[in-house]
Amino acid sequence: MSRNQLTFKKKERAKKQQLKKKEKLEKREYNKANNNKGKDLEEMFAYVDEFGNISNTPPETTYKFKEEDLQRPADPTEVEHFGKVSYFNDAGRYGFIRDNETSETVYFNDRLAGIDLKIGDKVKYKYARSKQGNQITEVELQS
C-alpha cells in the first residue's frame, strides 16, 4: 500500500510541475505579444511649446531664446546688503540684523562677526544660507 501511495504522490507532483511550466510558457507568450518596449524613437519624443504644454507633435514655430533669458539672476548671498542691528542678547552674545530693503533678519554672533555690535548699529554685510537660516559671513560697521 505504501508503494501505491508513493507513486501516486510522485505522479501528482509531476502533474503540478507540468501545469506550472505550461502556465509560465503561456504567460511568456502573452508578454511577448503585448510588449511595449522597443518603440521607435519618434514615438518616444515629447515636445514642449513656449507656454509649457507637452504634446507629441512638434511645434510649428521654434522659440528663439534671448540672451537675458539664459542668464541666471544674481544670488542674494553674494551681494552686499545694508541693515541695522535689531536685537542683541548680551548673555548669549548673539543677535539679528534686519535688512533695510527686504526687512529680512540675519543671525550673527560675536564669533561670526568678529567685532562687537550693539542694537541700532548700521552695518554692511554679506550672508549665507545654512540649515538654521541666514547667517552673516562678512560684516562692517557703517557711520
Rounded to whole angstroms, the Cα distance separating 109 from 100 reads 20
Task: Give burial (CB, 10 Å; 0-12/13-18/19+) of 136.
Answer: buried
Of 114, 108, 110, 112, which is closest to residue 85 (Cα–Cα)? 108
Return the CATH number of the domain spanning residue range 81-141.
2.40.50.140
Q: What is the pLDDT of residue 20?
A: 96
pLDDT of residue 64: 76
Question: What pLDDT is recorded for position 5?
Answer: 66
User: What is the rounded CA–CA span in Å between residue 78 and residue 102?
Assistant: 16
Identify the weakest region by mean pLDDT among 1-5, 22-26, 132-136. 1-5
pLDDT of residue 41: 76
Locate the domains of the chain by residue range.
81-141
pLDDT for the residue numbered 7: 84
Percent of the chain with pLDDT over 90: 26
Across all residues in the chain, what is the average pLDDT? 84
What's the pLDDT tens digit per position in 56-110? 888 787 767 788 777 776 666 678 889 999 999 988 889 999 999 888 899 998 8
What confidence score (pLDDT) does residue 86 get? 93
Q: What is the pTM of this model?
A: 0.48
Q: How confident is the model at residue 24 (pLDDT cuts 50, 70, 90)?
A: very high
DSSP label at 104?
Answer: -
> Hey, what's the cell of 69?
533669458
Residue 127 · residue 83 · CB < 8 Å: no
Q: Is the pLDDT of residue 26 over 90?
A: yes
